[in-house]
Chain A
Amino acid sequence: GAVVSQHPSWVICKSGTSVKIECRSLDFQATTMFWYRQFPKQSLMLMATSNEGSKATYEQGVEKDKFLINHASLTLSTLTVTSAHPEDSSFYICSASPTSGSDYEQYFGPGTRLTVT
């Protein structure tokens, strides 16, 4: 149980285009989903927290107009990287907190490798 999937697992796009990454909780409902970014040999950096049906809360320094987050249902959150540039190339990981569990439980997806050329 408590499986989180991400799609796609990797994507290559051209500079200036937009890319959408999906995060799904497969066997539970998630009130809260989180988006992280991980650079090589660095830690996971929390980008934003999204709650179903409301606007995402972005961490300091994260551009909300560049990283659009939508959490339209209890099982799906999407991250859209708009007008992507090479510096946006990174590993993006989502996690989800079950609605019925502790607020502190987070189950992680496998991540999406984004390469912007």
Chain B
Amino acid sequence: AQSVSQHNHHVILSEAASLELGCNYSYGGTVNLFWYVQYPGQHLQLLLKYFSGDPLVKGIKGFEAEFIKSKFSFNLRKPSVQWSDTAEYFCAVARYGNNRLAFGKGNQVVVIP
């Protein structure tokens, strides 16, 4: 079974700081990659996704992620965070042609004003 790894479960940073969250997966075949965000008290929402093409993907709210196939990674970045980015962020992977998602354990991000 494929697994998805997210490190640094708790991240605390100040507004305007840059954020990078790592995501690594174990499956060796073609994959579809996702980052979801869960704001306090809300449901999971899609931030961005990668299926094919340009490995640098831009999502909502200034987030971007880069797929590096050789490293089995799909790291999420935001150059300058805001207090409203306080949330839990989940990386998810699906095998190509399969819509079953495997999630990482998530990163709890707290942005201090």
The answer to whether B4 touches A43 (Cβ under 8 A) is: yes
The answer to whether B99 touches A43 (Cβ under 8 A) is: no
Report the stretch among B13-21, B43-51, B62-70, B79-87 that lies at the interface: B43-51
Q: Which residue of B lies closest to A108 (CB)?
A: B44
The answer to whether B106 touches A104 (Cβ under 8 A) is: no
Q: Which residue of B lies closest to A32 (CB)?
A: B99
The answer to whether B99 touches A97 (Cβ under 8 A) is: yes
Q: Which residue of A lies closest to B49 (CB)?
A: A104
A interface residues, how many (CB within 8 angstroms): 24
Q: Please measure, in the bound complex, the distance between the C-alpha atom of A42 and the C-alpha atom of B44, giving whole angstroms.
A: 15
Q: Which residue of A lies closest to B1 (CB)?
A: A60
Query: Contact check: which of B1, B32, B90, B99 meets A44 at CB < 8 Å?
Result: B90
The answer to whether A110 touches B42 (Cβ under 8 A) is: yes
Q: Please measure, in the bound complex, the distance between the C-alpha atom of A110 and the C-alpha atom of B9, giving whole angstroms.
A: 22
Q: Please measure, in the bound complex, the distance between the C-alpha atom of A110 and the C-alpha atom of B44, giving whole angstroms.
A: 7
The answer to whether A43 touches B44 (Cβ under 8 A) is: no
Known: A104-B49, A104-B94. A111 touches B43 (CB 8 A): yes
Question: A-side interface residues toward B, CB under 8 Å?
Answer: 4, 32, 34, 36, 41-46, 49, 59-60, 93, 95, 97, 103-106, 108-111
List 4 extra interface pairs beyond A43-B90, A44-B101, A46-B101, CB under 8 A: A43-B106, A46-B100, A93-B43, A105-B46
